[in-house]
Structure 1
Amino acid sequence: MIANKFGAFVAAKRKDKEISLRKMAELLDFSPAYWSDIEKGRRNPPNLSKIKEIAKLLGLSQEEKEIMIDLASEDRDEIPMDLPDYIKDSDLARIALRKARKKDEIEGTSETTDKAWKEFIKALDEEE
């Protein structure tokens, strides 16, 4: 049995939009039983392209879509599914992640790297 954070999140959003389980399944080209299993955590969340489709159907914000991706990835026990290609394609991202991991291992804590990541995120936000 999986954690089902994704299923609970999607079910709540679907109900907020007053979309029936059957209608949601139909819109996603899933059987109602299959979609019910996903919402109840009896099946793994779908792949990234289907998750993007779900986000669009539910009218989710970018932040809500990212939360949904994180929940799906967590339930699947995977790295967030929108990141592996970026990490594979970016030498700098891989270098930064490895340096952060090494520093955490040496110091036995993530306090220093957490501070650095927060500063990095702030700098990226200021660029927007």
Structure 2
Amino acid sequence: MAQNTFGARIKALRTEKKLTLDQLGELSGTSKSYIWELENKAPPRPSAEKLSEIAKALGVTADYLIGSDDTTRKEAEDIAFFRQYSGLPDETRKHLRDMADSLAKMTKK
């Protein structure tokens, strides 16, 4: 994948979420300068761990960021949500399922 696509995806998601370079760095355990380099330098060489943390902070998958598959952004967000959901306690997941059922019923009316 071309670097500019990788960097552009990070920058687009970061700005859409109204995060500064500092804020994304803090959320992902990196630095402002590291995020800037990923957005602007060629070729990016993030470690798998850093890539995973940045993707988590942006609410997508690492695969989406690097473009290693044909996953759309919506699919990447759904996958990231499901991973987060899967790590929640059973009772919390039950509450979320109940909420989803209620929302589904509301949209059918």
TM-score by length of 1: 0.44
TM-score by length of 2: 0.50
Higher-Rg member (1/2): 1
